[in-house]
Structures are given as structure tokens and as C-alpha cells.
A = this chain, B = another copy of it.
Amino acid sequence: MNKINRVAIVGGTHGNEFTGAFLIKKFTQFPQLIQNYGFEVLTLLANPQAFAAARRYIDKDLNRCFLNKDLQDHTLSTYEDIQAKNISSILSEDSKTKADVIVDLHSTTANMGLSVILGNQHPFLLQLSAYLSAINPLVKVCYTIPEAGSDFLRSLCELGFVVEVGPVAQGVLNADLFQNTEELIFQILDYLERCNRGEILQVKNTLTLYKLLASIDYPRNERGEIQAMIHPQLQFRDYQPLHPGDPIFLTLDGKAIAYEGESTVYPIFINEAAYYEKGVAMCFTEKQELTI
């Protein structure tokens, strides 16, 4: 591993996810909190107009604007397209201020606790994740799709990842979650600092990883209108096992719909507000125990 020279902490990529946005405001107001490291900590409020409007985005989802080809496409000129290009020019590989690590702070209405979401399985990220989940009981670690060619902000950097915290409503600042997220950021920064010093920090050589299998939409009618909601027995049960036959949806007229898969899965992002428009009621994951 090369030495880490610059860490970017990004918040407000979605303007109505207040936890990250207000942490950025805090670090801007109290910069001494992040100045005691051997690397630079750069903080960035990624979507200030959406934050001011308390909306996820103004024109389009900023966290789907980071495809390499889109960043180079001058015909893309919505507010978020331009923000993505600005952020890329600050953080990406060929910039003077390139980030060696990106922590992109998000929040969710699902009961995700403090989730570290990886887009690749770089050994350094796996070791960091194992460390965090060993010292912090709120931490869970997910692995989504391979990141090459991803449209997420975190993909600007090989050591980029998302911290996703919840449950919290959009447009709301929850003090407990704010404090827990801040504590996690300092645990991450301390880990990076000690790595830079060459300390060996492995506290556990195993990691529980929730690997994305598929996303599941709500039952809809022929006009695309939602006909069922998350079953009360599944609500807020992110990361809990869902067995074949367990109820997942409840129709508007009160009938349970069961999970019909053949193996136990571990749903996450259950009833995330922003995913209604994306056709996602939850994501199924499989639980893996990695030796690292």
C-alpha cells in the first residue's frame, strides 16, 4: 500500500440525507477536528442546491452521474451533471487534489445501522471493514456490484466506499445517528493514520460480508402503481434472515405475499423512500464469511 495523502469525506450527495450534509457543515465550522492527521482531510458538500431545497436532487440523481463516459460528455449539462464534473475534477486520479480514499456519507429510511458499502473487494477495504465491524457493533459490511464502470461517486477512487446510515427520514437530522456516524468517521481516520504509520491493526481475520444478489420491486398493477407494501413482519428487519415462505409484502387489501425463493436471503434497503421511483422495495443479499 502506498501512503495515504488525502482523504475525502463527502456528504449531501443526496440533498435530503441530512446526516452526512450536517457532518460536512460541522467539519467546515470546526476544521480542527480533522486537522490532526498525517494526511489531508478534504470535506465536500456534494449537492448544495439539493441540500438547500431538502431534495434528493434537482434534475437527476447525482450518485448516478459518475460514469466515465458521462463525465467526458459535454452535452450533459444538468445541474447534477455539472456538479459531477466539478467533483471529479477535484477528487479523481488525474487531479492535483486527488483523493486516495473517498468516504461518501448517505442515509436511508431502512434500518441499515452503520453500513459500509463496498464496490470492490480491494484487500485494504476488506481489512478496514473487518476492523470497523470488530470494534463497532453497529457496523455491517455489504458488497454490491463490481465497481468498474460504475456511476457512483465513490468510484472516482479505488478506495472509495459508502457509509449508509439509518433508519432516518429524509430531510431529518437525528442526533443519535449523527453522533454514531461521526464516531465511525473518526474510527476510519484513525485506522488510516495508523496504517500510514505502518501499524498492524488486524483485530480479526474474518469478515461477514453481505453480497448483493438482486433487487426486488413492489407488486404493481399494469399501470405501474404499487399494489402492496412491505409486510409489517419484515419492516426494519434489514440484515435478518428471510426464509422461503416468510411474508414479504402485504397487499392493499390485506393479503400477505410470501418470499418464494429456495434459499435464505438477507434483505437490505427494506422500504427505502428514494427507491420507490427506482422500482426497488428491498435488495436481497447472501451472507458470506470471508477469511482475509
Contacts and interface: CB of A to CB of B under 8 A. Distances in A.
Interface of A: 22, 25-26, 29-30, 54-55, 109, 167-176, 178-179, 225-226, 229-232, 235, 250, 252-254, 271, 273-274, 276-277
Given A29-B253, A173-B226, 6 more contacts: A25-B225, A168-B169, A171-B274, A173-B229, A173-B230, A174-B230
Copies of this chain: 2
Contacts of A54: 273, 276-277
Contact of A175 (B168, B225, B229): B229
Contacts of A226: 22, 173
Contact of A271 (B172, B231, B271): B172
User: Chain B CB within 10 Å — which of A179, A229, A274, A277 has the most?
Assistant: A229
Contacts of A232: 175-176, 179
Contacts of A225: 25
A172 B274 CA distance: 9
Nearest to A166: B169
A170 B170 contact: yes
A175 B25 contact: no
A88 to B, nearest CB: 27
Give the dominant DSSP class at A's interface. loop
Nearest to A27: B252
A174 B229 contact: yes
B250 A175 contact: yes
User: Chain B CB within 10 Å — which of A169, A235, A276 has the most?
Assistant: A169
Contacts of A22: 226, 229, 252
Nearest to A33: B253
Q: Considering the complex of A and B, which 3 residue pairs feature the smallest CB-CB distances, nearest first?
A: A169-B169, A171-B273, A109-B169
A235 B176 contact: yes
Contacts of A271: 172-174
A175 B231 contact: yes
Contacts of A179: 232, 254
